[in-house]
Amino acid sequence: MHDLVSKPQRHFDFAQMSGADRYRLLASTIMPRPIAWVVTRAPDGCVNAAPYSFFNLFGADDPVIALGILARPGAPKDTATNIRATGEFVVNLVPFDLVGAMNATCVDAPPDVDELELAGLTTLPSVAIAPPRIAASPVAFECKLTHLLDTGPGQSLVVGQILHAHYAQHVLTGDPQRPRVDHAALDLVGRMHGASTYTRTRDLFDLDRPLWQDAKITATTAS
């Protein structure tokens, strides 16, 4: 057993910390985080894109994802404004070869600027919603908003249901009726500590899950 109790520890009372310090501590601790490259469309038709790493999968039946959108001094982030107004968004995933383009779209551009155009990216139409998907991204999820929670001043949690998924053929393998995802071909990146550190999803190991049935047999054999 690891003896963590005898190691010196430091306690943080979040009520005594600034938002910026809480962010620095937590975003450098809860990692790696997958990156949702979110495309929305404003009611006036303008397309918007930005990366969000407060992102994960929260269910499969229904297929649920969530995004954490932080406050921005002055005005809410365009992604939050557009999702609030339209209830629609596409989550594209980010492989290593698209990190430069992904990073270009995090620029704090005004709402009428299409960050995908800025980054030289082309789009494909979605089948069920107005925002397009990023053509170069190997996986795109068309999502509809199911819950929008205000979790702080200007900060929100977006919960969405995936309606359609688009996978590039080269990241799928095996039986076409029940394909598996080729994680190496997908080559996704994750967000790490600090403002600019990322990881690649390549350092893998396997860990079998314990089964109660096997544990009972081992215990009986040992006694």
Ligand X SMILES: Cc1cc2nc3c(=O)[nH]c(=O)nc-3n(C[C@H](O)[C@H](O)[C@H](O)COP(=O)(O)O)c2cc1C
Q: Which residues bind ligand X (CB under 6 A)?
A: 35, 48, 50-54, 68-70, 77-79, 103, 106, 108, 191
Count helices and strands (H / E) in the chain. 6, 14
Question: Closest separation between CB of residue 53 and ligand X, Å?
Answer: 4
Q: Locate 210 and state its tokens.
A: 């314990």
Q: Which is nearer to ligand X, 35 or 140 (CB)?
A: 35
Question: Closest separation between CB of residue 45 and ligand X, Å?
Answer: 15
Question: Closest separation between CB of residue 220 and ligand X, Å?
Answer: 49
DSSP element (H, E) containing 220? helix 212-222
Q: Which is nearer to ligand X, 147 or 216 (CB)?
A: 147
Listed residue (185, 48, 40, 186) closest to 119, CA to CA = 48
Query: Judging by beta carbons within 10 Å of its beta carbon (0-12, 13-18, 19+), is residue 48 exposed, middle or buried?
Result: buried
Q: Which is nearer to ligand X, 31 or 185 (CB)?
A: 31
Q: Which is nearer to ligand X, 78 or 142 (CB)?
A: 78
CA torsion sign for 175, 176, 180, 186 is positive
Question: Closest separation between CB of residue 117 and ligand X, Å?
Answer: 13
